[in-house]
Amino acid sequence: MMDAGDDYLSPSPTLEETFYLISKKNTVYRVKLSEKGLCLQKECNGNIKTQTIILEDVIGCRCMRSKRFAHKCKWRPRSSKKGCHEEVNENSIDWDESDVSAYLYIYAYILKKGKVITHRKRERMIITLRFRSYDKYDDNMHEAQKWRVTIKYLMSSIQQSSLPPCFFKSHDIRIENKVLVIANPKSGVGKAREVFQNKVVPIFTEADINYDLYCTKHALDAQTLMRTTNLWEYMGGVVVAGGDGLLFEVVNGIMERPDWSTMFSQIKLGIIPCGSGNGLAKSISHAFNEPYDQNPVLVSTLNVVHGISTPLDLVRIETKNKIIYSFLSIGWGLISDVDIESERFRSIGSQRFTVYSVAKLIGLKTYKGRVSYIPAVSEQLVPNDDCDTKSVVSDEGRRDSFYSIASKKSAYHSAAGSSYESLTEENVRAFGPSSTLPPLSQSLPSTWTTIEGDFVLVHAAYPSHLMTDCLFAPSAKLDDGCIWLCYIKAGISRAHLVQFLMGMSNGSHIKTPEAVMIPVSALRIEPESGQLTVDGEAIELSPLQAEILPSAAQVFARA
Ligand SMILES: Nc1ncnc2c1ncn2[C@@H]1O[C@H](COP(=O)(O)OP(=O)(O)OP(=O)(O)O)[C@@H](O)[C@H]1O
């Protein structure tokens, strides 16, 4: 986004400039900026090497002045680790008056291809351009600013082309570019605030992201915040630094607002994975083939700073006493049991799912009940055989077993604390879309398919991953309008069940003969016993029905 102070400079469609190295007289850099990106052409003794940094990889840039008493040093495009001169902010009094150069720093995170696909990762690169064609610093700075403004303009053009037209509607109190970050200090291993401060803030700074940080104090705090805060101030997006449970609160909090529909169309949601499962963060990167595993926080933060969003399906779930909005999964039977009961082994990390699954196989339970569904209608929706190459099944699902909430760092602050309305809990009600299904108490029409009997498991997911290392619905897309329903009935051999559980890490579980995977648009589960989960959280045992809300939300993604 462009700053107010950029007004006096108008961006050029393309810019081109030649730069020289002080130390290497024979080397010339031709740098060209266009809507394709930044083309760096190095010419040395007749040899030409060209590198293009695409604009999608650039997250920000800034102008600086050289620091007083800094070495007089050559400049060049360089990687971040090989700094060769010191610089100070344009407004600092600490500058070197004898150096009239203006420096432009361009921050990019480029994709490094590894020998194997899992080694791909994003790496930080800083391109430094030194402008000193003029005798006066102000003139050089003007040149540098011209480049900066053009880069920002080109970056914002990419963002705007991906936004729905309604994004530009005027509203007197809306703040377009401010992001609300909600951190759960108890997510995962309890390091969400530190992760945000140490890994996310530096990238936000490079990208000029304007944000407020709110640290939750207890469970449901984020849900109350979303219900009561003035979200028009956060048109830049709402980002959780936490796990899927925190985003679940955000989604359900927005659904408790009378203006839920407007808010879901206006606000992009983001997730910086600091939880234990992080199914959605992984699914988003998987959908866009981003190298998540090497650095999940970096990749997810880059999604946010690019400001581009993609539609995400939500699911409306109705139980006897509740309406819940979900973005990840519904479960009954073995996987839900493992998810809930292995919580006490959280300290052993991702192995707890494997260990606990094996334990559950010894005294394998089956559950009586009925599962009904409406098949999704689309030719493309066929479970496929695409599998990841990893081999370990793991589950680091979520439970609320946290303790101290005291903050150690004074640098954190709460956002918009004063804008809370005095809505009491009694006034809280779920708004959100109404159901298109028959009431839960009524029997279903014959257009539904029903399976009855004893089940080992019934589990449904909407994005591809239930957890970082659990590719549960290999064919799922973020907005395919489908609930991917999987069930196994009683009678499966232990060997096949082990094959199923192990295969969940790479998606090969769907090849298990007894496992049925069907894309559906709605489902009803009528359990007689067992445990139900929604997005990994236990809910009361009751009949439940769910329907897809296609593209109901939008999430930051490198679309
Ligand atoms: N400050 C807090 N103290 C205790 N519990 C909290 C706090 N803030 C949020 N919670 C609760 O913690 C639960 C889990 O949080 P979160 O999803 O962030 O982490 P996780 O469970 O480790 O990750 P995942 O959901 O990806 O498995 C949420 O459901 C939320 O209700």
Mean pLDDT in order along the chain per 10 residues (559 residues): 47 79 78 90 89 92 72 38 45 66 93 79 92 90 92 81 43 77 92 96 96 96 96 96 96 95 96 92 96 95 95 97 96 92 64 75 92 82 44 27 25 33 51 92 95 97 94 97 97 92 92 97 97 94 97 93
Q: Provide the pLDDT for residue 182.
A: 98
Q: Provide the pLDDT for residue 116.
A: 73
Query: Integer distance in angstroms from the first to the last C-alpha of the chain?
Result: 18
In whole angstroms, what is the distance from residue 274 CA to residue 242 CA? 4
Tell me the CB-side half-sphere exposure of residue 216, using CA atoms within 13 A.
30
Answer yes or no: is the C-beta of 188 below 6 A from any ligand 1 atom.
Answer: yes
Q: Contact 38/58 with Cβ under 8 angstroms?
A: yes
Answer yes or no: is the C-beta of 343 below 6 A from any ligand 1 atom.
Answer: no
Please classify residue 8 by burial: count the beta carbons closer than 10 Å to its beta carbon, then call 0-12 exposed, 13-18 middle and 19+ buried.
exposed
Please classify residue 28 by burial: count the beta carbons closer than 10 Å to its beta carbon, then call 0-12 exposed, 13-18 middle and 19+ buried.
middle
In whole angstroms, what is the distance from residue 531 CA to residue 458 CA? 11
The architecture (CATH level 2) of 4-161 comes to Roll (2.30)
Q: Provide the pLDDT for residue 360.
A: 84
Q: Provide the pLDDT for residue 109.
A: 95
In whole angstroms, what is the distance from residue 244 CA to residue 239 CA? 12
Shortest-distance Cα residue to atom 10 of ligand 1 = 219
Shortest-distance Cα residue to atom 31 of ligand 1 = 219
Answer yes or no: is the C-beta of 352 below 6 A from any ligand 1 atom.
Answer: no
CB neighbourhood size of 283 (10 A): 31
Location of structure tokens 């037209």: 165
DSSP state of 297: H
- What CATH number matches the domain at 318-398+431-551, 1.20.120.430, 3.40.50.1000, 3.20.20.300, 2.60.200.40? 2.60.200.40
Answer yes or no: is the C-beta of 217 below 6 A from any ligand 1 atom.
Answer: yes
Partner residues linked to 52 by β-bridges: 39
Token pair belonging to 179: 């992001």
555 Rama sector, left if φ>0, alpha if ψ -120 to 50, beta otherwise: beta
- 158-178 burial by CB neighbour count: b if 16+ within 10 A, else e? beeeeeeeebeeeeeeeeebb
Polymer length of the chain: 559
Q: What share of the chain is helix, strand, coil (3-state, %, to 5)?
A: 25, 30, 40
In whole angstroms, what is the distance from residue 517 CA to residue 375 CA? 11
Q: Provide the pLDDT for residue 521.
A: 97
Q: Of ligand 1's atoms, which has the minimum distance to the CA of residue 397?
A: 27
Q: Measured in angstroms, how far is the CA atom of residue 133 from the centroid of ligand 1? A: 55
Answer yes or no: is the C-beta of 296 below 6 A from any ligand 1 atom.
Answer: no
Backbone phi, psi, residue 259, to 5°? -95, 30
Candidates 441, 451, 466, 430; CA nearest to 331 is 466
Answer yes or no: is the C-beta of 521 below 6 A from any ligand 1 atom.
Answer: no
Q: Measured in angstroms, how far is the CA atom of residue 442 from the centroid of ligand 1? A: 35
Q: Contact 240/222 with Cβ under 8 angstroms?
A: yes
Q: Of ligand 1's atoms, which has the minimum distance to the CA of residue 278?
A: 26
In whole angstroms, what is the distance from residue 91 CA to residue 556 CA? 33
DSSP 472-526: --TT--TTSS-EEEEEEETT--HHHHHHHHHHTTTTGGGGSTT-EEEEEEEEEEE
- To test ligand 1's pocket by mutation, which of 186, 216, 224 has the most ligand atoms within 8 angstroms of CB? 186
Q: How many helices (H) and strands (E) does the chain have?
A: 11, 25
Token pair belonging to 129: 């351009």
Answer yes or no: is the C-beta of 256 below 6 A from any ligand 1 atom.
Answer: no
Q: Provide the pLDDT for residue 355.
A: 76
Location of structure tokens 């009491």: 424
Fold of 166-313: Rossmann fold (3.40.50)
Q: Contact 209/179 with Cβ under 8 angstroms?
A: yes
137 Rama sector, left if φ>0, alpha if ψ -120 to 50, beta otherwise: alpha
Radius of gyration over alpha carbons of the chain, in Å? 26
Q: Provide the pLDDT for residue 356.
A: 81
In whole angstroms, what is the distance from residue 517 CA to residue 488 CA? 9
In whole angstroms, what is the distance from residue 277 CA to residue 282 CA? 9
- To test ligand 1's pocket by mutation, which of 214, 221, 224, 246 has the most ligand atoms within 8 angstroms of CB? 246
Q: Provide the pLDDT for residue 474.
A: 97
Answer yes or no: is the C-beta of 276 below 6 A from any ligand 1 atom.
Answer: yes
Token pair belonging to 29: 């850099």
Domain limits, the chain: 4-161, 166-313, 318-398+431-551
Q: Contact 486/517 with Cβ under 8 angstroms?
A: yes
Candidates 417, 165, 153; CA nearest to 266 is 165
